[in-house]
Amino acid sequence: MGNKDKVTGEGLRKSVIDSIKAIDKGPKVLKLYMDMCARCGTCAEVCPVYYGEPTELRNPVVRSDLIRSVFKKHSTISGKILGALAGAKDFDGDLQKFVDAFYECTGCRRCATFCPFGIDNSVITRKGRAIADSLGYTPETMKNVVKTSLETCNTDGASPEAFKAAIDFLEEEMKDEHGIDIKIPVDVVGTDYFYVPPSGDVLVNPEATTGIAKVFYVLGMQDKWTMSSKCFDGANYGLFTGNDADMKADNKPYVDEAKRLGVKYMFMGECGHAYRIMKMMMEKGKWWGELPFKVINCMEWTADRIKEGKLQFDKSKNPMPVTYHDPCNFGRSCGIVEAPRIILKASCQDFREMYPNRGENWCCGGGGGLSAMDDIREFRMKVSSVKKMEQISDTGAEYLATACSNCKRQFMQLIETHNAAFAIGGVHDMLSRAILINGKAAERVDWEAGG
Amino acid sequence: MTQTEQKTVTFGDKTYSLDQQGFLDPPQQWDEDFANGMAEIQGIYGGLTKEHWDLIWYLRKKFIEEETVPVVVLACADNNLRLSDLRFLFPTGYHRGACRIAGINYDFMYSTNFWLTYETTTIPKEDYKLTPHGFLEDFDQWNERFAHLIIREWKLSQGLTDRHREIIGFLRDFFRRTKNIPTVYETCKANDLDLDELNELFPEGYHRGACRIAGLPIFA
Amino acid sequence: MDVFVFKIVPFFTILIFILGISYRFYTWKKTPQPGAMTLFPVPHESTSLSIIKEVVFFPSLFRSDKTLWGFSWIFHAALALIFIGHVRVFTDFPALWKALSIDADVMSAVSGGIVGIIIMIAAILLLFRRFGSKRVREISGFPDYFALLLILAIVVTGNLMRFGEHFDLQITREYFSQLFTLSFAGMEIPQNPTFRLHFLLAQLLIIYIPFSKMLHFGGIFFTQTLIKRT
């Protein structure tokens, strides 16, 4: 974790400039983005935040320039000689401006999709947050989440006992629904799959987890998977505070646990950034060397089983119009876009596409960890999410499925604020309601979704 | 919703102040009258039953004695409630329903664990106050959802289009400024609209169609 | 003075350009990149093919801002054609023109003239765009206007040579061939003032490239590789 107390004065100035100068050493993306921007304004055209309310600091180029112009001033020849004429500007000592600006970027990477050069402003945002974090300027909310997560291995701060109690409860729920014992194995060594959901999918909105348990049951693989009573939350807010050390420290117990459990697959749940960290950063970046397991995602895995014809559904259990919101970290950053649609189309009567979608989708407005910050609730409700709400209501859907707890929290508050006419939930939630076990779908009392 | 607006509710002869999210604040104001009154707002019409009270007292005990709020799954597990039972008891959900009635304030819940304030419940249908002719009584009660309900009534395949939004926006803006309902002529002219398109967009015509979906209070 | 400016400076220009660009490419290449930055959906074809597509047709821009795409694609395409056209200033290919049975001078006059006008219009439109739209005005600073105005000035002087009073290409050609073969003895420095201005501005542009946003012509290969490889 970053500094506890806020650094100020000359020490602050020097630290900020030093860490911006350090960009020269990498990573490569960041270095390139410092040198390369034709300043064409395309990013502002496609940015959900700038669309919501186009203030100057919300223009992605202006925001990124907070860092880029300082870099030019101190690390480029032209900036040193020509100064402002080359777009260079020294750090003005106002780090709070960094915090305000970079915590108004949702890191959704939509700009990178449309930028002719593929400049990804979220990388610069993350750098800006990292600088703030190292000097103790990270917003309290985020600090607390990281602290809780590093202390307890989950963002809920739940104990292994609480987790086990929740699992027992979910098993009873499924017994009620299907009249049979469907197990959720915990801490079993020597299985194939280690299921790592976001903790919300166990403790708050547990249907996704019961959905997974039911799939394993139907496939006769009850003894092939396990959860861990210590590591049950893939969420990793080190990604959002920009602190690489925190991100890795948060990640390590999960890799160790997977090794201890001796699994073949780390089976990631419906959490976009967790999967991105495991797959694109940890596995590809070889943080912990060669791994004895592979990182896979539950949605792709379930979709493959559906394609093989191994799962049957009673679609009439989900009669309402359903649409899918691509979480940025699943869609743009990991390319998992077809799998959730396969699951939803198999389990719902009326699946509707939302536009634009997949790699071009609009962020929910709560990305980059902002969803957890209620101090900027007004911004999330009225600025960053404006277009998204229109897109959803255009589909006429009564249920919005999405595979990300941050998106879900954001949407829940949007529904509340705007009195919207839809319900929100996960992808495996829909599967859980419609999957046939011994020819019968779950019997439930009141799960009627929609307005 | 403005930042400074102070929210209150009055049950019987006592007035309670609420926070921005509509939760009791400060929580010391809580009493059983508040629970009964808030329950009605949260869609519990027949009065609070023993099952309601069991969960409410459980939540209050956790809140006051242990200074915590359990996550929804654990609260259900502790009280032997199925998730569906909870939804049946508290239609607006665990945190927005049960915890609110139990007088736990939003900030406390949020500071304990921000995930607590996240739940995927359904929000019950809002009761719009309508005139006998189906017009919205209160101009300010209008929201996009109301427009969607009317569109569904008309079974328009395209749903609520941007063109609809444009014209609804014009009508509402006009009414807000002048307190008058624009004539069909004014509306068509301002929006470059001909009667064919008008009828296509609003199958019930100008007054019953366009003005009604825009929430203009016409007391025919 | 003339000797210095027209016999020595061009070599410095080339040297600075090559060193500057190589240094940039070298630092970009050696900077480490942990983890993958892939942006999905990744193209079906190979990474290099899709990058070439991106460089030639600007599909990302086409999907987001069609007006800008129109202006800038025409601008860059004209720039590329002009670059190719200028090769004839330094060397000619009589055999090629014969094989294609084309009158090279007529073709150059017509196509060069048209492209010269087109790029001028495109540059002016891009300049106006910088003033016209809020989101672009916010991010436009001195370097952005300078780059456009510099190119515009080079284009205008170039067009003046083509459309203005008679300009003798033959003298210029000889000058360049002598310059590049280092035969300084008997070298005749062209006296046409428009040409001199055009030539000096062009050198300024070449020197400016490695130190400015115009680097994007090379950097695009690096940045696009990062987001397109799986």
ipTM attached to this prediction: 0.91
A373 and A291 co-located in one domain:
no
pLDDT confidence of B87, banded at 50, 70, 90? Answer: confident
pLDDT in tens, A344-394: 999 999 999 999 999 999 999 999 999 999 999 999 999 999 899 999 989
Q: Per CATH, is B7-117 categorized as 3.30.1360.120?
A: no
**What span, in angstroms and rounded, lies between the C-alpha atoms of C115 and C113?**
6
Distance in angstroms (rounded) separating the CA atoms of residues C219 and C53: 15
Instruction: Inform me whether the C-beta atom of residue B136 falls under 8 Å from chain A C-beta atoms.
Output: no
A284 and A406 in a single domain? The answer is: no
Residue A204 lies in a domain: yes
Is residue A387 in some structural domain?
yes
Quote the number of domains for chain A. Answer: 3
The answer on A59 and A195 residing in a single domain is: no
CA distance B98 to A291: 46
Tell me which DSSP letter residue A318 carries.
S
Q: How far apart are CA B93 and CA B42, in angstroms?
A: 9
C33 SS3 class: coil
Length of chain C: 230
Q: Is A284 on the interface with C (CB under 8 A)?
A: yes
Say whether both A322 and A393 belong to one domain. Answer: yes
User: What proportion of chain A, given as a percentage, has pLDDT over 70?
Assistant: 97
Q: Distance (Å, rounded) from C-alpha A420 to C-alpha B9?
A: 24
Residue B94 makes CB contacts below 8 A (sequence gap 6+) with: B72, B75, B86, B119, B121
Question: Residue A1: pLDDT above 70?
Answer: no
For residue C95, the distance in angstroms to the closest alpha carbon of chain A comes to 39
Q: Taking residues C27-38, report their average pLDDT.
A: 90
- Position B124 scores a pLDDT of 47
Q: Which domain holds residue A390?
A: 310-434
- Long-range Cβ contacts of A159-167 (<8 Å, 24+ apart): A160/A229, A160/A230, A162/A203, A162/B71, A162/B74, A163/A202, A163/A203, A163/A229, A163/A232, A164/A229, A165/B74, A165/B77, A166/A202, A166/A203, A166/A206, A166/B71, A166/B73, A166/B74, A166/B77, A167/A202, A167/A227
Min Cα distance A247 → chain C (Å) is 13
Task: Give the separation between CA A359 and CA A342, rounded to whole angstroms.
Answer: 17
Q: Order of strands across the sheet with A399-402?
A: A350-352, A321-325, A399-402, A423-425
Say yes or no to pLDDT of A448 above 70. no
- Mean pLDDT across B175-198: 92
Say if residue A327 is in the same domain as residue A425.
yes
Asked if pLDDT for residue A186 goes beyond 90, the answer is yes
CATH number of the domain to which A157 belongs: 3.40.470
* Residue A424 contacts B where some CB pair is shorter than 8 Å: yes
**Cβ C34–A285 below 8 Å, yes or no?**
yes
Residues A182 and A93 in one domain: no
Min mean pLDDT across A177-186, A437-446, B117-126, C143-152 is at: B117-126
Q: Domains for chain C: give ranges and CATH numbers.
A: 2-27+61-213 (1.20.950.20)
DSSP string across A249-273: HHHHHHHHHHHHHT-SEEEE-S-HH
Q: Is the pLDDT of residue C59 over 70?
A: yes
pLDDT at B118 over 90: no
Res B21 pLDDT > 90: no
Residues A364 and A329 both lie in one domain: yes
Looking at the fold, whether A165 and A301 belong to one and the same domain comes out as yes
Q: CB distance A419–B82 less than 8 Å?
A: no
Residues of chain C found within 8 Å of residue A61, distances taken between Cβ atoms: 138-139
A274 and A378, same structural domain?
Answer: no
pLDDT, position A94: 93
> How would CATH label the architecture of B139-213?
Orthogonal Bundle (1.10)
Domain locations in chain B? 7-117, 139-213
Residue A122 lies in a domain: yes
Same structural domain for residues A314 and A300? Answer: no
| pLDDT score of A429 more than 80 | yes
Is residue A14 predicted with pLDDT exceeding 60?
yes
- Structure letter (DSSP) for residue A92: -
Instruction: Report the predicted TM-score, pTM, of the whole model to 2 decimal places.
Output: 0.86
If contacts are CB pairs under 8 Å, which of residues 29-88 in chain A contact chain B?
Answer: none
Token pair 């809780």 is found at A148
Contact A36 C211 (CB under 8 A): no
What number of C-beta contacts closer than 8 Å exist between A and B?
118
Q: How far is CA A92 from CA A10, A73, A299, B110, in A?
A: 11, 12, 47, 34
Strand, helix or coil for residue C55: helix
Interface test with A, best of B62, B115, B155, B158 (most A CBs within 10 A): B115
Give the separation between CA A259 and CA A125, rounded to whole angstroms.
Answer: 33
Do the domain assignments include residue A451?
no
Is A225 in contact with A216 (CB distance < 8 Å)?
yes
Most confident of A350-354, B130-134, C1-5: A350-354
pLDDT above 50: residue A451: no
Chain A residue with minimum CA distance to C24: A35
The pLDDT of residue B6 is above 70 = no
Domain B7-117 and domain B139-213, same fold? Reply is yes
Are A282 and A425 within one domain?
Answer: no
B121 in contact with chain A, both atoms CB, cutoff 8 A: yes
Same domain, A353 and A378: yes
